[in-house]
Structure 1
Amino acid sequence: MDMVKTTIRSITVEPLNIPLREPFAIATGSVMEARNVLIKLTLQDGSVGYGECAPFPPSTGESQSTALAAATGCIDLLIGRDAAQWRILSKLIRSLYFSQMTVCAGLEMAILDALTHSYGIPLYIFFGGASTFIETDMSIPLVTPEHGYELAEEIMARGMKTIKVKVGGDLREDVNRVEAIRSGAPHLGITLDANQGYTPHEALLCLEALDDRDIRPLLLEQPGPKDDLTGMRYVTQHTTVPVAADESACSAAAVAQIIANQSATVINIKLMKTGIVEALDIAALCRASHTQLMIGAMIESRLAISAASHFAAGLGGFTFIDLDTPMLLTEDPFTGGYEQKGGIYQLSETASGLGVTPK
């Protein structure tokens, strides 16, 4: 009987466009809006699950149009299959659409959301129930020092505890931006994200210049090109600031190599890079090797951010949490998933699944 209940009855796929409050510029490109894909999946018992694909061309090599095509291609593949076999379905999707990882992530999200609705449990409990909340930082993109100062004051007023600063452009401008942000929010923690923008030498020069100004970041993320694990290892060996791999950490195999080479001390998991099943494997690899965990996101709405929050809270043990993108959007087309107070996303009110519904 349970087999029938959790059979996938229907799937719909549509574009999800949400403008940003201001342009979000990082070292590899700038975006004006989230151009995502929304998936709605319904089971035989009427349980509905939602998934979001957030392709970000500079990072994922996907676009909204390729994600729409791939997600639509999966409809016939999945209808009539049992959502309870979510690992088998994940493998099936990945075997065909291995270059469209945001689609794999969005479909896994929709399948698990529908399944846990059917089971009557929240997703964070399904993932292990280690915690009922997470606390995110908030990002400041590549802006002028003056604007960085204003944004830092706003972030402090919101009750956040950590600011993530985008760097990886001109070294002097980067250092001035970080210094201005520190002045605007003197007591908040600062993490840096170079998005592959530095050479190993520049990354160390940046940290040295900040050290001269008594600024010690909590983290330096992806200092150089994603394929240059030797360069990242050089940075890691020459600073006591934790170094995180993000774009380099694109699969469980890549993470195994990063850990073996001691190229980074922190791994940034993003569901959009690897999908949920592989993210579980990466988290296990990091735990086994005492490598610190971080969770991040592309330009995602409350829907995908809820999935990442449930994942991180359910597993527990994430040192760095960067799930702020819904705060950068002009509107929130969804409700539920979590209750926000300052940087804290509280999940304990979620009755089942992700608890997210379109407005």
Structure 2
Amino acid sequence: MEKVSFVIDDALAFIVRAPLVTPFRISTGQHDELENVFIRLHASDGACGFGEAAVATHITGETVAETLENLQSAASALRGRRITDPAAVCREFAPAFADNHAALAALEMALLDLSSRVQGIPLYRLFTPIAGQPRLTFKTDITVVIGSVEEARATARRFAQRGFDSFKIKIGKDEEQDLQRVLAVREMAPGCTLILDANMGFSAQRMLAFLDRLDAGGARPLLLEQPVPKQDWEGLAAITAALEGSGTLVCADESVGSLASARRAVETNAVSAINIKFMKSGILEGVEIARLAAANGKRLMLGAMMESALAITASAHFAAGLGCFDFIDLDTTFFLKGDLSRSPYLDDSGRFDLTGAGSGIGVVPELP
């Protein structure tokens, strides 16, 4: 990242809420609304940078209250400060957010947004490509949340008609119903890519048996995400070994939230893919995880928590700049109502196009 100089004359952290179209249900809990913490950094030349912390207490244990407090403290420390190396400032603050990575992601996002706005360049240009060059167009999958078979069928039908061709199905609450839900999605979108996300809801043995039943129904998934509890490295490795050569990749999500855990996944060959999320690792550490995975032949997914258009668009810049992601799971704006559901570079079919991106992230949320 190039050096840049600006002075932060004001900083503000605040809570943002937005209604959902439908509850976002997974095996470990659900979101009934978006309640995230935003931070705005205002430079003396008038430019602003924004960041978002998506708090998923049922997944990470973080809370909105602690995230707001931590970002308010960071905002106070940044007021009046001249920034010449945004990445160095991000690293400086990282230890204070050791147990609150969503807040770290928000701070990094705001600093990088402001830096790229001051330079007059799109955010993606701050990231050095891993795969040779930026990749400015790509499509996201769409998530089929935990629910009834009819809900799964209706979701698949609706989004297939809009042009989606990759469906990520949440499983792990009721195996019999899960089986029928996956088969219903396959029926409604027969040519689609299937991704299953168990959110830690299975044991290794039960997961492999479940996949055998899907095989019998002609619904083999391309990717299986976090089938077992996050500390069950032996279970992950057993599933990965059993599925070698089958055409199904095993992806770590909850198990890999840091560079250290990514190293463990790589060194033990526990998985064949890794899901990077800003809210798990922060942004700069996410870059390091991506580089490590790519260097060791692991496939990469880019995901999100329940994030608004601000963080989702920032993640799209990240994917574009690094150019190395095989799977894009940046669909949470389709579950939101209102202005925060609108990314300027995402269309109704799930296609991101950053070829004409302006400076910064490109999303300016309203202050409360």
TM-score of the superposed pair, with normalisation by structure 1: 0.96
1:275 is aligned to 2:288: no
Moved more, 271-280 or 123-132: 123-132
1:162 is aligned to 2:169: no
144, 149, 152: which one pairs with 2:148? 144
1:146-184 deviation line (CA, Å, top 9, x unaligned)? 111111000101111100000112211111110111111
CA contact (8 A) 1:246 1:268 kept: yes
349, 352, 356: which one pairs with 2:356? 349
CA contact (8 A) 2:12 2:41 kept: yes
Read off the aligned partner of 1:110 and give its amino acid letter.
A
Q: State percent identity of aligned pairs.
A: 37
CA distance in 1, matches of 2:4, 2:119: 13
Q: Secondary structure at the match of 1:165?
A: strand
Structure 2 residue runs without a partner (length 5+): none
CA contact (8 A) 1:83 1:112 kept: no
Within 5 Å, give how 1:231-310 maps onto structure 2: 231-239=235-243, 240=246, 241-310=248-317
CA distance in 1, matches of 2:153, 2:344: 31
Per the alignment, residue 232 of structure 2 pairs with 228
1:22-80 deviation line (CA, Å, top 9, x unaligned)? 11110110110111011111122221111000010022211211111111111122223
Per the alignment, residue 10 of structure 2 pairs with 10
Within 5 Å, give how 1:38-49 maps onto structure 2: 38-49=38-49
Within 5 Å, give how 1:55-66 maps onto structure 2: 55-66=55-66
CA distance in 1, matches of 2:70, 2:239: 38
Read off the aligned partner of 1:202 and give its amino acid letter.
R
CA contact (8 A) 2:10 2:43 kept: yes
CA contact (8 A) 1:84 1:115 kept: no
193, 196, 202: which one pairs with 2:197? 193
Per the alignment, residue 73 of structure 2 pairs with 73
Per the alignment, residue 37 of structure 2 pairs with 37
Read off the aligned partner of 1:280 and give its amino acid letter.
V
330, 340, 346: which one pairs with 2:337? 330
RMSD: 1.6
Q: Please state how far the C-alpha of 1:322 moved relative to its aligned partner.
A: 0.3
Q: Secondary structure at the match of 2:231?
A: coil
1:135 is aligned to 2:139: yes
CA distance in 1, matches of 2:282, 2:329: 17
Per the alignment, residue 207 of structure 1 pairs with 211
Q: Please state how far the C-alpha of 1:290 moved relative to its aligned partner.
A: 1.1
Cα–Cα, structure 1 residues 260 and 62, in superposed 2: closer, same or farther, change >3 Å?
same
CA contact (8 A) 1:86 1:111 kept: yes
1:77-118 deviation line (CA, Å, top 9, x unaligned)? 222334332222112221112111000000100000000000
Per the alignment, residue 319 of structure 1 pairs with 326
Cα–Cα, structure 1 residues 326 and 334, in superposed 2: closer, same or farther, change >3 Å?
closer
CA distance in 2, matches of 1:344, 1:84: 35
CA distance in 2, matches of 1:175, 1:16: 37
Q: Secondary structure at the match of 2:41?
A: strand
CA distance in 1, matches of 2:202, 2:215: 17
CA contact (8 A) 2:11 2:39 kept: yes
Per the alignment, residue 99 of structure 2 pairs with 99
Q: Secondary structure at the match of 1:168?
A: coil
CA distance in 2, matches of 1:25, 1:187: 25
CA contact (8 A) 2:4 2:85 kept: no
Q: Secondary structure at the match of 1:357?
A: coil
Q: Secondary structure at the match of 1:356?
A: coil
1:264-289 deviation line (CA, Å, top 9, x unaligned)? 00000001111111001001101110
1:169-200 deviation line (CA, Å, top 9, x unaligned)? 22111111101111111121110000011111
Q: Secondary structure at the match of 1:340?
A: coil
CA distance in 1, matches of 2:321, 2:231: 31
CA contact (8 A) 2:333 2:340 kept: no
CA contact (8 A) 1:3 1:82 kept: no
1:231-284 deviation line (CA, Å, top 9, x unaligned)? 110111111310000000110010000010111000000011111110010011
Aligned residue pairs total 358
CA distance in 2, matches of 1:320, 1:335: 21
Read off the aligned partner of 1:291 and give its amino acid letter.
K
CA distance in 2, matches of 1:52, 1:182: 35
Q: Secondary structure at the match of 2:364?
A: strand
CA contact (8 A) 1:5 1:44 kept: no
CA distance in 2, matches of 1:4, 1:126: 11
